[in-house]
Amino acid sequence: MNISIIGSGYIGKSLGKYYFSNGFNVTFFDISKEILQELERDGYPICSNFDEAIIKSDVIFLTLPTPTINQKISLDAFDDTLTKLLNLNLDGKLIIIKSTITPGTTDDFIKKISEKNSCINKKFGVIYNPEFITEIASSWNKSGEEIDFCKESRVVIGESENKEWGDFFIKNLVLQKKTPVIRTNYSEAEMIKYVSNVMLATKISFWNEIYLLTEKLNLSFEDIAKGVSLDSRIGEYGTVTGKAFGGKCLPKDIEAFITFANSYQKMSIVENAKKVNDFMKNSFGVRE
């Protein structure tokens, strides 16, 4: 099976190396020449021509960046890719979106791509399969053999009413057969990814406030956190406190989520989680 990775940054590289080390024909594409040169030096197949990469693929992973700009998700990389895809025949191909995107984005993407006559026949599949690994938890060595995809807690598949492509994905591309699989529509799968990140961010901010309180009372935060987190309903995530959460995902995703959600429903808990984090950042710095 021929796989192309469109956007060979952190997630694209880990994903591509994972499938490569499991015997798939993987081709990396990126707009950055440096990234492609590095992958080529390390012995991975690359293609610097977008059309060629797509034409020879059965499966196309979109691992494109979705930064938050002016408090809103930016889909520029998606729009750019969409424009290029519109000129190609996608018949028989499966597009798998991995990036973190606000609910409704995959539906819009499909609508735009299907409206154009240039996508002859339109017998191609699109699924949304969010990525849950994090930069901190994940690792891979230079040969691409050891990475964390096999440790995913669940595989989420956002799909249309036609389940054939999801079935194909599970059969051929979910290599860890025991991982629980959740199948939903596109927007629900997109929401699962955001709610996961927002929940993690909220837990960190909650514990950071408790940390500030215990400092003032001269109590041992570690002992209190241990005593609380042994309750399996609560768990220990977020009890490493004292600094703001950083990294590439939580800060950008919490901000984009607030803007997205607030036009439907005010997210007061999440907004306050962000406020606490801003305070921690200004007072104590960021844990990357």
Ligand X SMILES: NC(=O)c1ccc[n+]([C@@H]2O[C@H](COP(=O)([O-])OP(=O)(O)OC[C@H]3O[C@@H](n4cnc5c(N)ncnc54)[C@H](O)[C@@H]3O)[C@@H](O)[C@H]2O)c1
Chain residues that interact with ligand X, rule: CB under 6 A = 6-12, 30-32, 35, 63-66, 77, 80-81, 98-100, 131, 133-135, 248-249
Pairing of strands 286-287, 244-245: parallel
Cα 117 from Cα 115, distance rounded (Å): 6
Question: Smallest distance, Å, CB 76 to ligand X?
Answer: 7
The residue among 160 and 196 lying less far from ligand X, judged by its C-beta, is 196
Cα 252 from Cα 186, distance rounded (Å): 21
Cα 81 from Cα 90, distance rounded (Å): 13
Question: Smallest distance, Å, CB 62 to ligand X?
Answer: 9
Question: Smallest distance, Å, CB 157 to ligand X?
Answer: 16
Question: Smallest distance, Å, CB 65 to ligand X?
Answer: 4
Question: Smallest distance, Å, CB 230 to ligand X?
Answer: 28
- How far is residue 141 from each of residues 138, 144, 164, 165, measured CA to CA in Å? 10, 5, 34, 31
- How far is residue 126 from each of residues 63, 104, 165, 198, 212, measured CA to CA in Å? 14, 14, 8, 26, 46
In the numeric block, the tokens 């490569």 are attached to 20
Question: Smallest distance, Å, CB 226 to ligand X?
Answer: 28
Question: Smallest distance, Å, CB 51 to ligand X?
Answer: 13
Tell me the chain's radius of gyration from C-alpha atoms: 20
The residue among 136 and 230 lying less far from ligand X, judged by its C-beta, is 136
Q: What are phi and psi of 46, to 5 degrees?
A: -125, 165
- How far is residue 214 from each of residues 15, 138, 275, 285, measured CA to CA in Å? 42, 32, 19, 19
Residue showing the smallest CB distance to ligand X in the complex: 9
The residue among 120 and 136 lying less far from ligand X, judged by its C-beta, is 136
The residue among 35 and 94 lying less far from ligand X, judged by its C-beta, is 35
Q: Which amino acid is it at 277?
A: N
Instruction: Show the tokens assigned to 180.
Output: 């629980």
The residue among 73 and 267 lying less far from ligand X, judged by its C-beta, is 73
The residue among 248 and 287 lying less far from ligand X, judged by its C-beta, is 248
Instruction: Show the tokens assigned to 208.
Output: 């950071």
The residue among 7 and 125 lying less far from ligand X, judged by its C-beta, is 7
Cα 29 from Cα 67, distance rounded (Å): 19
